[in-house]
Amino acid sequence: MPANALKYAEVLGSRMAYRDEGAGPAVLFQHGNPTSSYLWRNIIPHVSGQARCIAPDLIGMGASDKPEISYRVEDQARYFDAFMDSLELEDVVLVLHDWGSALGLDWARRNAGRVRGIVLMEFIWPIPTWLDADPRGRDAFKAFRSEGGRKLLIDDNAFIEQVLPGGVVRTLTQEEMNAYRAPFLTTASREPLYRFPNDLPIAGAPVDIWAMAQAYQAWLFETDVPKLFFWADPGAIISPARAAFLSRELKSCKSVPLGAGRHFVQEDHPELIGQEIATWLGTLPAPDRMSVTDHALAV
């Protein structure tokens, strides 16, 4: 996406950057850790011909401001909520990944009347025990939550340099790696990269995030809001076995296997994801309120 597509919203005294492409009903693409709106660069072009595609950078990430806050998930949720209100988004389709899914599903549970559809991939759920966590990443995440976690994530920048490329089947180019590195070149800028792994809801902790995840998971299984669910093999947060369970149990859900993939499936399957989203959007009922989501009226 061209650099001139970057816009800014004033949110709680800071600026949040976002990409804004196309016209029509609003589709919000929300990244997680340690990425940015750059994650969606090869997907949005498939969708922007029929929708207004909005891809925010979470506070402290991408080109957004980096205020001096704790960067716990509760902080991220406050900024995410305020961003959604600042753009007056109604009848929005949420395309969610990683921590973007926790923020987006929590918001959707509390604002169900504003949600037209949900697209999920590698999304965060309350993991009952450490034995249920991805065995390939279990030791790393235990280390991130240990006494030495700050050194690994702040000093060594392990989430960018190890977890990110390890979550992609293909090899990321140096240009791509540098784009992901750019927001976190200093140790002071890496606090979000430390906080997110430490807030991952596993075995009941942290208590507040566990409760949040339990609540939005219950809502997700109850709601008839249309859903599009992508999954990969072997996956990371979502294994093929859990994908099969979700495909059976989620209401009004189309399940799409992507093939070989780990966590950052957008880097391995952008064309398939983009084309499937574009096709699926055409099956949704027309939005009830176009006055604020139809970007064509705002330009």
Single-letter residue type at 114: R
Among candidate residues 21, 122, 191, 276, the one labeled active-site is 122
Helix axes 207-222, 99-110, angle to 10 degrees: 60
Among candidate residues 31, 97, 263, 269, the one labeled active-site is 263
98 in catalytic set: yes
Distance of alpha carbon 79 from alpha carbon 81, whole angstroms = 5
Q: In the block, which residue shows the tokens 């395309």?
A: 95
Among candidate residues 90, 98, 199, 276, the one labeled active-site is 98
Distance of alpha carbon 193 from alpha carbon 13, whole angstroms = 22
191 in catalytic set: no
Backbone angles phi and psi of 160, in degrees to 5: -75, -50
How far CA 205 is from CA of 74, 152, 177, 191, in Å, comes to: 14, 21, 32, 19
Q: Provide DSSP, the chain.
A: --GGGEEEEEETTEEEEEEEES-SSEEEEE--TT--GGGGTTTHHHHTTTSEEEEEPPTTSTTS---SS---HHHHHHHHHHHHHHTT--SEEEEEEEHHHHHHHHHHHHTGGGEEEEEEEEE---BSSGGGS-HHHHHHHHHHTSTTHHIIIIIS-HIIIIIHHHT-SSPPPHHHHHHHHGGGSSGGGGHHHHHHHHH--BTTBSHHHHHHHHHHHHHHHH--S-EEEEEEEE-SSS-HHHHHHHHHHSTTEEEEEEEEE-S-HHHH-HHHHHHHHHHHHTTSPPPS--TTT-GGGG-
Single-letter residue type at 204: G
Give the residue numbers marked as catalytic: 98, 122, 263
